[in-house]
A and B are shown apart, each in its own frame.
Chain A
Amino acid sequence: MNPRGSNFTGPDRPTWDLYSKCIHCGLCLQQCPTYRVLGREADSPRGRIYQVLQVDAGRLRIGDSFVTHMDRCLGCRACETACPSGVQYGRILERARAEIESNYQRPWLERRLRDWFFTRVLHRRKGLERWAKWLRVYQRSGLQKVARASGMLKLLGLDKVEALAPQVDRAFFFPHLGMLYPAEGEVRGRVLFHVGCIASVAFTGLNEATVRVLNKNGFEVFIPRAQRCCGALQAHAGYREEAQRMARRNLRAFLEPNRDAIITNSAGCSAMMKEYGDLLQDNPKYGEHGRDVASKVKDVTEFLAEAGLRPPQRRLKARVTYQDPCHLAHAQKVRSAPRELLKALGAELVEMAHPDYCCGSAGTYNVTQNELSMKILEQKMDEVTQTRAEIIATANTGCMLQLRAGVKARGLNARVAHVIELLNEAYEDPPAAAEEQHSRHRRKRASHVPSS
């Protein structure tokens, strides 16, 4: 313990300016998922901020206790929505976690796994591809069946976590990198598409749907080849430098003139990219540029709702409930856009009691904090069940995986879908074009040379 000075060491630490905005009023407590489940001040926003303050005051060590409570935070930022005092909790959390990574020794295996995942798997496309292929072999070769049936997973304590892993696609989205997809009909704009890392190996269909829906709405889509993972998972885990590396790469990749917007279909990605300015604030070369790029980033639902949908041919005749992804509702304050899109489809929207309560997915949280995550999911599924919805719509891949696990565990007869997937199904192709559509990706290998 250090009675005089701060126990934080890095330059990019949580500062007084950030945490003193908290006037410990407690109005955020009930909005925090971990407080609702655990009922402990240490696992509330106010308590976490107080602990950060005490570390900075030298009264609390960056030890097991501090790390446990900071690890349990979902990073959902519901507390920011609740906070009248304007506390930027997300910024405090990311900095505190970076301090943990540099000042705290995690157990050997955990450290190795984290390093491997955050700096290897996510770092380059090759790493991700290799990992996804292994997972695919496991899931499709029958190995998974054997592992599940043998009870081996249970024995290793991996059974619950394993069930949450994304189902790896047969075909990855990578071949689309560097491609240009022209708008249909009158051109309304030209956009860039950030494809997302996990989405590229496990949500290929969603990515294709995103491109198609944008095209159908008159937007030309270009997918820069040199793009990288957005860096969100890394930043949230305390790998701030790695996140900054990703951000710098992306700034270069998305430096395309004459584009109206940078689109993502994962709320976690758009939230991160909108904050590149903050992530790179200490870097004079990139800070300004970061803010420029950030100002162009749009979540696909936000973008389409603002632009106005071209009327789809089919209507969605179903009872739909919408789960607000935390990084859309709390981090980006986008709430009405996805709902407007669902209504434009003709869906009957039935709201849960608390659609903006976290589902417990939170990036890698459902793996690292499985037990707590499942308790949070339980509460969410209670509300979902009450709506008697046939479709649970959301706008983030992580939430989709978590909600699917919830639907399965309850044995519900409901489909979990991304708003964009529902939109995609509502747009028909003219009969003659349907065949053509099939081979479309082949033909569109553009003459455009990707900048990398």
Chain B
Amino acid sequence: MPRSRISEELREIAGAEAVLDGAEDLMLYEYDAGLSTGTPQWVVFPETTKQVSRIAQLASRMNVPLVPRGAGTGLSGGSIPRAGGIVLVFSRMTKILEIDAANRRAVVQPGVVNADLSAVVARHGLFFAPDPASQKASTIGGNVAENSGGPHTLAHGVTVNHITGLEVVLPDGGVVQMGGKAADSCGYDLTGLFVGTEGTVGIVTAITVKLTKVAEAVETLLAIFHTIDDAANAVASITAGGITPVALEMLDGKTLRCVEEATHAGYPMDSGAVLLIELEGLREAVTEQAEAVRAVCERHNAREMRRAANEQERQLLWKGRKTAFAALGRLAPAYYTQDGVVPRSHIAKVLRYIETVAQKCNLQIGNIFHAGDGNMHPCILFDMRDPDQVKRTHEAGRMILTYCVDCGGTITGEHGVGMEKNELMPLLFSEDDLEVMKWVHDAFNPKSVLNPQKLFPTPRSCRETNVAGGIGGSR
């Protein structure tokens, strides 16, 4: 079927205004927040599950790739139409369908922005716990697909722990309901299976989320250290000592200085590293734990301890943390973030290794990460106009991830595999492991119509389109 016929059918399904197929419009959907690029042939903005289902049927019938996209804040190219095709954007499916405060549930469409949901349910004393640093922009559909985490993952878990039900459109257009409002449904836990599949198994059109009660008391501390080593060792001691912070984040000196310029949050400009530590719970317990944290940090040579005196100061400290990646954009026109996970006791060692990689590859690397989870986020800065730097950047990324795996960790904690880390999957999984995953994929998405060439290592022939060409080439 010629292109124009597909355009016509898409317009018939979603409405003329809701379909883009001109080159000048399509180029706006060839990027996300990562490094890869790929241009679609169509972009559609569906409004209903029915429309999504009909679009899926069309794509399957025509064998055209179909790629879901939320806000495009993904860092691994998940929403990039690597093999062309149709991009489905959820910016018109942004309704909160139901708030059931008594049972602490809400049902939302996939395009609802993470922070918006928390803002709306705040009047019930509730919030949506997954808090990726991108929460002011990223969609709950995207969070589900990536199984996103955030600073508070340490206490609250990742997205999957907060989803009880999904409505999913399969590549053939079938609509299935997985789970529901109950915390635990009988039969296979398809909801759990689905979360984190990065848009390669089905398209989410409605999500039942768990809402969490806002804690009685919260205490936010900033521990300032002269050296990265001291800060890293303090992390290991805090968690080993039976203290359970809800968030435990680390920012190194380089990052701090950028963040301070961007937010004026009051971070010290001259320190080696800081830890941002948050405690939550009943008032007395929190005060007690805060004292314990202070003692541990001081034992590890903390230069100074600060405490957010009110909600405003607390928000400012968090703003600094949540804008940290992007603040590094002040140092270079592009960055490449990794998110390997390592056991907490190895953090200091891994940070030292990252520093040697930076020197070896002659690149700047900033570190802002979920220290409590051992989820490293080395942020490699580079200029995409210099092909040699781009090459070194990828080399550095690969070295760091390999090291994380060697330390008993994994290649991604939360940013997903997408098309930026799929070739690294064999580092972590045996052929058999991958084969089983592939079964699941094929059971739902046998023709690879949905989001092709993602997550799994590609056959050699497809590989040259991977990262290195990406935004470096066209930007």
Interface residues of B in 50-93 (CB under 8 A from A): 71-73, 89, 91-92
Q: Is the CB of B326 within 8 A of A84?
A: yes
Q: Is the CB of B73 within 8 A of A66?
A: no
Q: Is the CB of B326 within 8 A of A83?
A: yes
Q: Which of chain B's residues has its CB closest to A41's CB?
A: B28
- Separation in Å of the A64 CB from the closest CB of chain B? 9
Q: Is the CB of A41 within 8 A of B29?
A: yes
Q: Is the CB of B327 within 8 A of A24?
A: no
Known: A24-B33, A57-B474, A60-B27. A86 touches B45 (CB 8 A): no
Q: Is the CB of A23 within 8 A of B71?
A: no
**Docked complex Cα distance between A224 and B119 (Å):** 49
Contacts of A61 in B (CB 8 A): 24
Q: Which of chain B's residues has its CB closest to A87's CB?
A: B329
Q: Is the CB of B27 within 8 A of A27?
A: no
Known: A26-B137, A27-B326, A84-B323. A20 touches B333 (CB 8 A): yes
Q: Is the CB of B326 within 8 A of A66?
A: no
A451 in the interface, Cβ–Cβ < 8 Å? no
Contacts of B72 in A (CB 8 A): 26, 41
Interface centre among B119, B328, B333, by most A CB within 10 Å? Answer: B333
Known: A26-B73, A41-B28. A86 touches B475 (CB 8 A): no
Q: Fill in one digit per residue for A269-291: 1 if any B CB lies within 8 Å of its CB, else 0.
A: 00000000000000000000000
Q: Is the CB of A59 within 8 A of B27?
A: yes
B261 in the interface, Cβ–Cβ < 8 Å? yes
Q: Is the CB of A25 within 8 A of B261?
A: no
**Docked complex Cα distance between A31 and B475 (Å):** 24
Partner of B137, one of A22, A30, A41, A60: A30
A29 in the interface, Cβ–Cβ < 8 Å? yes
Q: Is the CB of B327 within 8 A of A84?
A: yes
Q: Which of A47-55, A142-150, A307-315 contacts B (4 or more CB under 8 A)?
A: A47-55
Partner of A39, one of B31, B92, B325, B471: B92
Q: Is the CB of B28 within 8 A of A47?
A: yes
A368 in the interface, Cβ–Cβ < 8 Å? no
Q: Is the CB of A84 within 8 A of B333?
A: no
B303 in the interface, Cβ–Cβ < 8 Å? no
B32 in the interface, Cβ–Cβ < 8 Å? yes
Contacts of B33 in A (CB 8 A): 23-26
- Separation in Å of the B90 CB from the closest CB of chain A? 9
Known: A27-B323, A84-B323. A42 touches B25 (CB 8 A): yes
- Separation in Å of the B330 CB from the closest CB of chain A? 5
Q: Fill in one digit per residue for B1-31: 1 if any A CB lies within 8 Å of its CB, else 0.
A: 0000000000000000000001011011101
Number of interface residues of B (CB under 8 A): 44
A21 in the interface, Cβ–Cβ < 8 Å? yes
Q: Is the CB of A21 within 8 A of B329?
A: yes
Contacts of B134 in A (CB 8 A): 25-27
Contacts of A452 in B (CB 8 A): none
Q: Is the CB of B91 within 8 A of A30?
A: no
Known: A26-B73, A42-B25. A86 touches B136 (CB 8 A): no
Partner of B334, one of A23, A29, A60: A23
- Separation in Å of the A46 CB from the closest CB of chain B? 8
B324 in the interface, Cβ–Cβ < 8 Å? yes
**Docked complex Cα distance between A54 and B94 (Å):** 30
Contacts of B475 in A (CB 8 A): 53, 57
A105 in the interface, Cβ–Cβ < 8 Å? no
**Docked complex Cα distance between A28 and B72 (Å):** 12
Q: Is the CB of B28 within 8 A of A85?
A: no
- Separation in Å of the B131 CB from the closest CB of chain A? 14
Contacts of A39 in B (CB 8 A): 45, 89, 91-92, 94, 111
- Separation in Å of the A442 CB from the closest CB of chain B? 49
Interface, chain A (partner B; CB < 8 A): 20-31, 39-42, 47, 50-51, 53-54, 57, 59-61, 63, 65-66, 82-87, 353
Q: With contacts A30-B115, A41-B29, A84-B262 known, what are 7 further pairs, Cβ within 8 A? A: A23-B333, A40-B28, A40-B91, A50-B27, A50-B28, A84-B326, A85-B326
Can you list 29 A-B pairs, Cβ within 8 angstroms, ordered by A? A21-B329, A22-B329, A24-B31, A24-B471, A25-B134, A25-B325, A25-B326, A26-B33, A26-B73, A27-B134, A27-B136, A27-B137, A27-B323, A39-B94, A41-B28, A41-B89, A50-B28, A51-B28, A54-B27, A60-B24, A61-B24, A66-B24, A83-B326, A84-B259, A84-B263, A84-B323, A85-B326, A85-B330, A86-B330
Q: Which 8 A/B pairs are nearest by Cβ-Cβ distance?
A: A85-B329, A39-B91, A84-B323, A84-B326, A20-B333, A23-B329, A65-B24, A41-B28
